[in-house]
Amino acid sequence: MKFSILLFALYQILKRAAKKNDAFRNYIRPMRARILIRTADGQRGRLFIFNKGVISSVAGNQRTFDAALVWQDAATGFSVMTDKRPDASFNAAADGKLTVEGMSVYAQWFEDGIKLVL
Amino acid sequence: MAPIYGGHLVAKYMKEVENVSLVFTLSGGHIENILDGFTEYGIRTIDVRHEQAAAMMAHAWSIYRNEPGVCLVTAGPGFTNALTGIVNAYLDNVPLVVLCGRHPLRDDLKGALQEMNQIDMIKPVTKWQATCYDTRRIPEYLALAFRQATLGRPGPVFLELPPDILFVAVEEETAPVPPRRVYKSSTHPDESELRKAADLINGARKPLFLGGSGVGLGDRDAMFETFIEKTGIPFALVNNGRGVLPDNHSLSISDGGFTSINTGLPQADVIVAAGIRFNWVLQSGQLFPNAKVIRIDIDPHEIDRNRTSEVGLVGDCGLVFSQLTPLVNKADHSSWLEKLRKAYQAFMTTEQALRTTPSDPIHPIRLVAQIMEVFGEDAYYVADGGDTSYFGLAGFMSANKAGVLIPAGNLLGCLGTGIPFAMAAKIAHPDKPVVLLNGDGSFGFNSMEFDTAVRHNIPIICVVNNDCAWGMIKHAQEMSIGEDRCTCAELGMRHYEKMVEGLGGYGELVTQDQEIIPALKRAAASGKPACINVVTDPTVTSPATILFYQDLSGF
């Protein structure tokens, strides 16, 4: 549950940043990208849709995405995504707790964007 | 001694002093006497259909043979046609020697045939350029050209030879031939800088080595190997440094293509970057803000370019490795390497699944995997195109030095390099398979060179990754201006295999996954220059396109 709330909160933060944060607004302005964050079992997830500066989001395990960050479970996803250390995602991937489906370049773009906001 | 023509003097010097065995050229009236000299002195010529290909083949020859490649082009349009290939060599720091015809000195400012100021045009894109005005000084000028091309940071040189000096004969003893100078001096860093570098390497917990073309130059591969095996540093070799140690070396991360580099660099605490520029491909060095960086480069201006380094070691990479190796501790970074491997593989799950899963329409990643299935790691691979370059870079693996080259991925982004590079690879390594993965767009630039391949019996295998479009441009336009407004991006379905058949080569069209391997085997068995035209998924794009688009959209 905490993971789903975190994803929803992230959506709200990104939506607000798209209006108020100049750096983030410029960062997302040219891009069209669909980033899915979900648990491996597909029980929890949220799709973030970036369309030329406009952000929307859909809850659930959506099938169409450019990149999907797939967390081993919700607790892991929550703890790593709220971890401020720069190597948190790297370590999670190395430990088998995170995989990326689709094109990882989009996942990297998303992570770099998050850093401008959080 | 007998009289000798200027053109013959060119050939004599190159054969007897520089040991040039092969020249890439396209004939022309102004250079006829040099061509006759090649016949006289037994220098092989490969004559192409467009001078751009001659420059590109000579460029590639420099890499595959580790010696200056020579191209000879005629005046005016021969010169301008070669220009793209020369610029590409300039940005790639390759010791290309360009010999060029010129309108007669006698006819300067008269409106002579092909009269133009070639020297001023070539000046910004060559390391050295000159016009020879005296037949007797031809060997001296050639000696200067070859030394300028190879000493220090290599680069292309341009020597203009007018017919006034080529078509006249002089007594041979009046044209002294300088000896081939072998310099015993070398540039190397100060001991204190070497110690600083060694201290950083010895204290590193997560080091990464990134080697570029400077590592591939010269014959000092063993020094690099000794350095790497003593330090135990995981490494990635790119550009013309690829294959100095085989891609399947236990410390190599080449199996991850750019994903492994982009994953590893931000995590590394010490980066040893040798013979590589921090240009746009490496995001100007901004990918690793927290790492301590040791730069090794023969050009001191590169040391802090775009990114301040903690230590700069100026010198030939091989010599620097030989000086640095005694100062570093023997180390084992296998746990860091294992962690890095697991991380980048976690970022490549889709790519890895695509390699092993039949696809319909055919996915380019699957196509590359099938090519590897047939030809393995003891082959030479070239990729040319936009997205196609990425797929080649990510999927091809070779045990050979320069076994995977992506010339269109270099600074000039020069499409059309594939066929000339593949032909040069095949001439340099006739007993090995040479496979070119060519985008359908980039195939168009030099595809007439299949005629050259047929005439000179150069049996390359060209696999066209045919998405019926300028894929990288099309997908970038879809992102920027929208799918319904793509402009000048579609090419449509074309039977490139029939074009090659028409020129005397072997051709096949492939539309189904299961047809790929049999077609490749038939192409290899044909013994002819071959084109396998593979229709691939037009919706597929590559990470390179996303990065390309991001780079151009941040204004």
ipTM: 0.93
CA distance A45 to chain B (A): 18
- pLDDT per position as a tens digit, B484-533: 999 999 999 999 999 999 999 999 999 999 999 999 999 999 999 999 99
- pLDDT per position as a tens digit, B2-30: 899 999 999 999 999 999 999 999 999 99
Q: Which domain holds residue A107?
A: 2-117
Judged by CB atoms closer than 8 Å, whether chains meet at A103 and B290 is answered as: no
Burial label, A36 (beta-carbon count in 10 A; 0-12, 13-18, 19+): buried
User: Do the bridges between strand B404-405 and strand B44-47 make them parallel or antiparallel, or are there none, so unpaired?
Assistant: unpaired
| Ranges assigned E (strand) in B372-482 | 380-384, 404-405, 434-439, 461-466
What pLDDT score was predicted for residue B520?
Answer: 98
- C-beta of residue B395 within 8 angstroms of C-beta of residue B375: no
Q: Report CA dihedral (B471, B474, B478, B479) to the nearest 10 degrees.
A: 70
- Chain A 74-93, CB below 8 Å of chain B: which residues? 86-87, 90-91, 93
What pLDDT score was predicted for residue B336?
Answer: 98
Q: How many domains does chain A have?
A: 1
Q: In the block, which residue shows the tokens 């399947």?
A: B248
Pick out chain A residues at pLDDT < 50. Answer: none
- CATH of residue A27: 3.30.1050.10
- C-beta of residue B423 within 8 angstroms of C-beta of residue B450: no
Mutation choice for A interface testing from B347, B363, B550 by most A CBs within 10 A: B347
Q: Between A and B, how many CB-CB pairs are < 8 A?
A: 61
Contact of B334 with chain A, judged by CB distance below 8 Å, is answered with no
Of B342, B346, B547, which has the smallest distance from its Cβ to A105's Cβ?
B547
Judged by CB atoms closer than 8 Å, whether chains meet at A107 and B262 is answered as: no
Q: pLDDT averaged over chain B?
A: 95
Tokens encoding B488: 């000048």
Report the predicted TM-score, pTM, of the whole model to 2 decimal places. 0.95
